[in-house]
Amino acid sequence: MFRFHRVESIKPWTIIATRVISVVAALALGALLFAAAGYDVPRLAGDVMRGSFDNMFALEDLGLLVSPLILTGLAAAVTLRIGLWNIGGEGQFYAGAIAATVIGLEIHADPALMLVVLGAGGFLGGALWILIPALARAYLAVDEIITTLLLNFVAILFVNYLSTGPLRDPGQAVTSATARIPYDIPTLVGDLHWGLGVAVALAIVIALILAYSRWGYEVRLAGANRFAAHYAGIPVPRRLLQTMLLSGGIAGLAGMLEVTGTVHRLQGGISNNFGYLGVMVAVLAGGQPIGVLPAAVLMGIILNGGIVLQSYGVSIYQVLALTGLILLFIAVGEQLAYYRIPHMAQRPTR
């Protein structure tokens, strides 16, 4: 009889290879489905790649999508490191955007100083938005997946309320949005602002903190085995709280950068699902901050594909469906990687 053996552990490169194969397989299945729906897939794929890389403008547009994805991906990744899920990146993104907008519209001061203040405000806004789920998770063991997620709906309603109500710019006749925020993130090239630099730098800093600080070791240990961390004398609830607040803050910072660097005013729908896609980025990256960078680029290309292909009748929804498929393939691939055909199994070592 033909049976598969499950092996205890697999090598890091097998994990990475499996992830790549999963993504490719999901994209291939997606392409097949698109082809079945009557699309000319090779042409679509060519358009997406051209739309992302063909010229400076395309690259700038891609960069504008990648920067918030790095940050929301990073936000989800840090919680994964301690074994938690932050599915509320969307809400924290909006909370950061709201905080930055209110501060930006109300306070008038030196622009350079204000950018720092806005950044801090965005971070705090995001952290505040996750505060209750974080406290409930850390000290009461209340499942954080549902609490963080439900706050997304609240944040979206709140942004709509603000941008159509108290903060609405009466000068805007057509769309409901706030007035323009009088501070801009300096640009890097063309339309691309320094948010990308901030995002990349933050990914590197967080990777360094996790690998080379006591706090990082404690977070990793608590993520690997909470009981062992408690045993080792680590205040686990405090680390859970800190990690979640950091995560919310990073997502909030993404919202602040988006609103001050790209959109310049607060309105409904500015997040582009960055919060949800951030979870995908983090999973693709295996929870590793540096892995978030390539994962965010990949997700950026896919998201950009939805925008580039609008003229073909492709929408953001197809793109979301495709990302869901990728996630499913990764989840299944992650497990299948542990199975071996018996004759391939390692020989007895004991």
Partner 1 sequence: MSAAPARNVVELIGITKTFPGLVANDAINLELRAGEVHALLGENGAGKSTLMNILTGIYQPDAGEIILNGAKVRFTSPMQAIAAGIGMVHQHFKLIKAFTVAENIHLGWNETPRRVNAGELERRTTALAERFGLEVRPGARIEDLSAGEQQRVEILRVLSRGARVLILDEPTAVLTPTEATALARAVREFTASGYAVIFISHKLDEVLEIADRITVLRAGRKVATLPAVECTHARLATLMVGREIILPHSREEDAVHRPGSVVLQLSGVSTFNDQGVPALNEIDLDVRAGEIVGIAGVAGNGQRELTEVLTGIRLPTAGEVRVRGKSMNGASPAEFLQAGIGHVPEDRLRSGLAPSMAVADNAVLREYRKPPIARGPLFIPSAVRKLARRIVDDARVIVPNMRAPVRNLSGGNQQRLVARREMRVAETALVAAYPTRGLDVGAIDSMLRYLIEIRDRGVAVLLVSEELEELLSIADRVAVMFQGRIMGTFAARHAEAEQIGLLMGGHAGAMPTEVAA
Partner 2 sequence: MIELITGVLATALLAGGVLVLGALGEVLSQRVGVFNLGLEGLMALGGVSAIITVAHVPNAPLGMLAAIIVGLFAGAIFSGAVVLARANQTLCGLALTIAGSGLASSIGQSYSGQPAKAIFNTVSVPYLSDLPIVGRAIFSQSPLIYVIWIALPVALHWLLFKTRHGINLRAVGENPAAADAAGVPVTLIRFCYVTIGAGFAGAAGGYLTLAFVPSWSDGITGGRGWIAVALVIFAGYRPYSATLGAFLFGLITALGFVGQARNWIIPPAFLSMLPYVVTIACMIIPVIISRRLQRRLAAPAALGVPYFRDQR
Query: Site residues (CB under 8 A) for partner 1?
Result: 1, 3, 5-9, 211-217, 220-221, 224-225, 227-235, 340, 345-350
State the minimum distance, in angstroms, from the CB of residue 7 to partner 1: 5
Which CB, 114 or 270, lies closer to partner 2? 270
Q: Which of 69, 97, 127, 149 binds partner 2 (CB under 8 A)?
A: 149
Q: Which of 136, 179, 188, 200 binds partner 2 (CB under 8 A)?
A: 136
Based on the shown chain and the rule CB under 8 A, indicate whether residue 140 belongs to the binding site for partner 2: yes
The whole-angstrom separation of Cα 51 and Cα 308 is: 6
The whole-angstrom separation of Cα 275 and Cα 323 is: 13
Question: Pick from 180, 102, 170, 152: which is nearest to 275 by CA?
Answer: 152
Q: Which does 103 bind (CB under 5 to 8 A by kind): partner 1, partner 2, none?
A: none
Site track 262-301 with partner 2 (rule: CB under 8 A), x = hit: --------------x--xx--x------------------
The whole-angstrom separation of Cα 280 and Cα 26 is: 13
Based on the shown chain and the rule CB under 8 A, indicate whether residue 244 belongs to the binding site for partner 2: no
Q: Which does 234 bind (CB under 5 to 8 A by kind): partner 2, partner 1, none?
A: partner 1
Q: What angle do CA 298, 304, 309 make, to 5 degrees?
A: 130
Per-residue tokens: 19: 């992830």
Give CA 166 to chain center in angstroms.
30
Which CB, 126 or 287, lies closer to partner 1? 287
Cβ pair 205, 293 in contact under 8 A = no
The whole-angstrom separation of Cα 285 and Cα 240 is: 21
Give the range of 63-71, 173-181, 285-293, 332-340 binding partner 2 by CB under 8 A: 332-340
- Per the DSSP assignment, residues forming a β-bridge with 339 are 6
Which CB, 4 or 57, lies closer to partner 1? 4
The whole-angstrom separation of Cα 179 and Cα 116 is: 21
Q: Which does 150 bind (CB under 5 to 8 A by kind): partner 2, partner 1, none?
A: partner 2
Query: What angle separates helix 144-164 from helix 89-106, to the nearest 10 degrees?
Result: 30
Cβ pair 87, 281 in contact under 8 A = no
Q: Reduced to 3 states, what is the DSSP secondary structure of residue 187?
A: strand
Radius of gyration of the chain (CA): 21
Give the range of 44-52, 107-115, 158-166, 187-195 binding partner 2 by CB under 8 A: 158-166
Q: Which does 136 bind (CB under 5 to 8 A by kind): partner 2, partner 1, none?
A: partner 2
Q: Which does 142 bind (CB under 5 to 8 A by kind): partner 2, partner 1, none?
A: partner 2
Cβ pair 254, 71 in contact under 8 A = yes
Q: Which does 225 bind (CB under 5 to 8 A by kind): partner 1, partner 2, none?
A: partner 1
Give CA 62 to chain center in angstroms.
15
Distances (CA, A) of 194 to 63, 105, 301: 10, 21, 20
Q: Which does 133 bind (CB under 5 to 8 A by kind): partner 1, partner 2, none?
A: partner 2
Per-residue tokens: 12: 């890091």
Give the range of 44-52, 128-136, 189-197, 293-301 binding partner 2 by CB under 8 A: 128-136
State the minimum distance, in angstroms, from the CB of residue 80 to partner 1: 13
Q: Which does 167 bind (CB under 5 to 8 A by kind): partner 2, partner 1, none?
A: none
Which CB, 27 or 320, lies closer to partner 2? 320
List of residues 6+ apart from 348 with CB closer than 8 A = none
Where on the chain is the footprint of partner 2 (CB under 8 A)?
A: 6, 85, 87, 132-133, 136, 140-143, 145-147, 149-154, 157-158, 160-161, 165, 276, 279-280, 283, 315-325, 327-328, 330-332, 334-336
